[in-house]
Amino acid sequence: MTEIPVKKSCDVEGCSKESKKTVSREKAGAAIKEAGLNLSVRDKVTKAHLCADHYRKIKKKLKKDREIDRLRWG
Ligand SMILES: [Zn+2]
């Protein structure tokens, strides 16, 4: 019953830090692009793994998306 967690590294191009958060690739990709960076994941991948630093960097943008959703649904 021992499950060894697979250590993934950050999916931001040029970053090899340990991934801490998983975000939908679509959302992360847009936010990362806005930050002037690129994700190094394949198109078919639905989740992007981010290190703490990069997650923090795009967290605000992800939050903004959620607010837009809320406005849309009134
Ligand atoms: Zn990173």
Q: How confident is the model at residue 66 (pLDDT cuts 50, 70, 90)?
A: low
Structure tokens at 43: 């198109």
Ligand 1 centroid to 16 CA: how many Å?
6
Tokens 């801490």: give the residue.
Answer: 20
9-44 per-position pLDDT tens digit: 999 999 999 999 999 999 999 999 999 999 998 878
Please state, as a whole number, how many other Cβ atoms lie within 10 Å of the Cβ of residue 24: 12
- Torsions phi, psi for 65 (to 5 deg): -60, -45
pLDDT for the residue 24: 93
Tallying the residues shown for the chain, one arrives at: 74
Is this structure's pTM higher than 0.85?
no
Q: Which residues surround ligand 1, an ion (CB under 5 A)?
A: 10, 12, 15, 17, 51, 54
Query: Is residue 51 a contact partner of residue 17, using CB atoms and an 8 Å limit?
Result: yes
